[in-house]
Amino acid sequence: MIDRYSRQTLFEGIGEEGQKRLGNSYVVIIGCGALGTVIATSLVRAGVGKTRIIDRDFIEYHNLQRQVLFNEDDIRDQLPKAIAAERHLKKVNSSVEIEGIVDDVNYTNIERFIGGADLVLDGLDNLETRFLINDACLKHRIPWVYGGAISSSGMTMNIRPGETPCFRCLSSTVPNPEVVLTCDTAGVISPAPFIIGSLESAEAMKILVGAKEIDRDLRIIDVWQGTFHRFKIARRKDCPACQGKYEFLEGRFGVRTTSLCGQNAVQVLNPGAEHLSLEELARRLKPVAEVSYNEFMLRFTVDNHEMIVFPDGRAILRNTTDESLARGLYARYIGA
């Protein structure tokens, strides 16, 4: 025990007392891709007492370029990310509790998933679930660390209910899906999520040990340009979440799916999306899919599924009745 953490307890910011606090802590990591694998590996190695990792996806070859916990065997064994992460991390540190959960986090289940946690960490690739984390964490007064990375850049900010601005203060409305780049259309290089995941892990340690150095700013980094910026974010007076209106948690916004009976298709509704520019979306999808569009609809095919998108953000995914697959593909290629 002493040997395992000796280099960390020597560090005065942690010490023996901090190590005990880490050991008594319970964190929930939502999303186990590039960010989540970095965060999980840091915190499990650091001796956080219990770590819950939630992710809905399986591992694919194009994940290995940046998702540090996974390997080719996991793909051959067809393991979900949460299970592979749990298995690998248990071999790293058998003295702590690690729980992998394979599920889609949404407004019906998030409160159950984060209940009792000391801290929630964002390892996500979509905005919608971040607004949901924000609502649930504010409601239950659990601090959370926001982090996102794409292309060569990323950003992170700590959100502590009652003390700091929240994620909705930061981006008050759901942005148009076409301006939200996703990893599947814009690409990503590993140093971007690595550095953001590392910053999230450091903030997690500080929050868990009760350090006075906990960061208050939004930090934005571009590893290709070599730029590091910090921004002071103000609390918005009209922020619904800060006033206790949890619209995402109530299921008022967010992507909704309906299986279209007899058509072998799923309809995806995105009430939070405003008018969608199909021209802009076509330009963004061009590198990854065959796209055709007119002023009424846009059509593209990925992974053997044809998706038809309308200017109000609505989409129909053909050739499946799997609603969670439809939500996943919508988040990947259209965003939000």
Among 32, 53, 307, 65, which residue's Cα sits nearest to residue 177? 307
Q: Which stretch binds Zn ion (CB under 5 A): 23-31, 40-48, 77-85, 167-175?
A: 167-175
Residue with smaller CB distance to Zn ion, 169 or 281? 169
In the shown chain, the binding pattern of residues 246 to 285 toward Zn ion, with x for contact by CB under 5 A and - for none, equals ----------------------------------------
Beta carbon nearer to Zn ion, 168 or 299:
168
Task: Assign 215 to helix, strand or coil.
Answer: coil
- Residue 102: other Cβ atoms inside 10 A: 17
Report the nearest approach of Zn ion to the CB of residue 10 (Å). 39
State the nearest-atom distance from the C-beta of 129 to Zn ion, in Å: 17
> In angstroms, what CA-CA distances link 232 with 164, 216, 218?
11, 8, 6
Are 246 and 253 spatial neighbours (Cβ–Cβ below 8 Å)?
no
Min separation Cβ 242 and Zn ion, Å:
3
Given the complex with Zn ion, which of 168 and 332 has the nearer CB atom?
168
Q: Of 82, 159, 169, 307, which one interacts with Zn ion (CB under 5 A)?
A: 169
**Residue 168 contacts Zn ion per CB under 5 A:** yes
Query: ∠159-164-165 over CA atoms, to 5°?
Result: 85
Q: Work out how close the CB of 275 gets to Zn ion at its nearest, in angstroms, rounded to a whole number.
A: 25
Residue 99 or 163 with smaller CB distance to Zn ion: 163
Count of alpha carbons within 13 angstroms of residue 307, beta-carbon side: 29
Kindly state the smallest distance separating residue 109's Cβ from Zn ion, in Å. Answer: 23
Residues that bind Zn ion (rule: CB under 5 A) add up to a total of 6
Q: Are 98 and 51 in contact (CB under 8 A)?
A: yes
Segment interacting with Zn ion (CB under 5 A) among 1-9, 163-171, 226-234, 265-273: 163-171
Q: Taking CB under 5 A as the criterion, which residues in 222-251 touch Zn ion?
A: 239, 241-242
Q: How far is CA 191 from CA 15, 150, 205, 224, 231, in A?
A: 29, 10, 21, 9, 21
Q: Strand, coil or helix: what is 133?
A: helix
d(CA 247, CA 241) in angstroms, rounded, equals 8
Binding-site ranges for Zn ion (CB under 5 A):
166, 168-169, 239, 241-242
